[in-house]
Every structure is written in structure tokens, then in C-alpha cells.
Amino acid sequence: MRVHLVNPSDVSFGVAIMTPRWLYVLASATPAEFGDPILIDETLNPFDLDSIKPGDLVGIGIHTANAHRGYDLGRQARERGAYVVYGGVHSTLFPEEAREFGKGHAVVRGDGDLVWGTVVKDCATQQLKEQYEGGRHDGRSFFHGKWSLLPKDKYTGGSVQTVRGCPKHCSFCSV
């Protein structure tokens, strides 16, 4: 089983402004026995769906602006026999939507890095649950990104995380 992590985008430029930090954090959180995941940032290059084999795991992180593209990729990955898991702020808020429109086998809600290893192992043993609760965690427990997988000269800026989300819980904001 190969693990693919996908940051969906309708437009690929070959370079991007900001590093999608979550790709590298989940790469670090992927159990070593599964090897390094294949990281796809579609702002750099489109996802080659022909690289998916039956039984692979495809993790797709979505926010509202890229949800439609993420759902399209998820449906196509599932048609190819892959297990599809959604995460990100949009999936956290609308997990049923990710399962219905994106044909996701599972959804990770909240902070995904601490629960990701369980998701991968459950997938490998074909015991994937419909939903995993990542919750919110203290910053000291976060995984560091696996920056050795970062492609050279593809991002104009890096990303630094000092906190995750906002503690205010305003009704109008998804972050």
C-alpha cells in the first residue's frame, strides 16, 4: 500500500507562493513501515491519477475553495480502487459532504497529525472507520514537517506555524 497525500488545486503553475505545511506534517506522521508518502501539491503539478494502484491510500486535504477539485480527485481515486480519506478545515466542518460528494471512505476531523498513523494502519488492515477525531492539541504535541521531501525552488515562501487555528470560535470563521 502506497500513501498519496494531495493538496488539490484547479490550476497548476509549477511554482507556488506558500508551502502547504500539512503535506509535510502528515508525511512525518506516516508510520515508517509504509515509507515516505507521495506528496502531490497541485499548485505545482496536477495529480497523475494513473499512479494510483488498488489498495493505495489517498489522503486529500480540503478547504472550501478547493473542495470541488478535492472531491473530483477522491471520486477518481476510489474508482481506481484506492482508499480515500479527507481532512482539512472543510472536511472538519462538513464530514458528511466529503463522504457523499467526494466518495470518501473516511474523514479526519480536527488536527490530523496525531491520529494519522492510526488511519494509515487501519487502512492497511482494512479496518478503516468512517470518521476519526483529531481534536485540538497543545502545540508541543504537533509533528514537525518532513522537510527533506520539499522540492527545491518550487515555493517562493515557507510556512511557519506558531499556533493551530484560533481559540475564539467565532461563528463566521472556519479557522
> For position 94, what pLDDT does the model report?
94
| Span of 14-18, 63-67, 129-133, 152-156 with lowest mean pLDDT | 14-18
Identify the CATH number of the domain in which residue 26 sits. Answer: 3.40.50.280
Please indicate, yes or no, if residue 146 is contained in any of the structural domains. no
Please indicate, yes or no, if residue 81 is contained in any of the structural domains. yes
Structural domain count, the chain: 1
Please indicate, yes or no, if residue 44 is contained in any of the structural domains. yes
Please indicate, yes or no, if residue 10 is contained in any of the structural domains. yes
> For position 173, what pLDDT does the model report?
63
pLDDT at 175 over 60: no
Model pTM score: 0.89
Helix (H, G, I), strand (E, B) or coil at 118: helix
Give, for 100, the enclosing helix (H) or strand (E).
helix 95-101
Please indicate, yes or no, if residue 21 is contained in any of the structural domains. yes
Task: Give residue-wise pLDDT tens across range 50-107.
Answer: 999 999 999 999 999 999 999 999 999 999 999 999 999 999 999 999 999 999 999 9
Structural domain boundaries, residue 32: 3-135
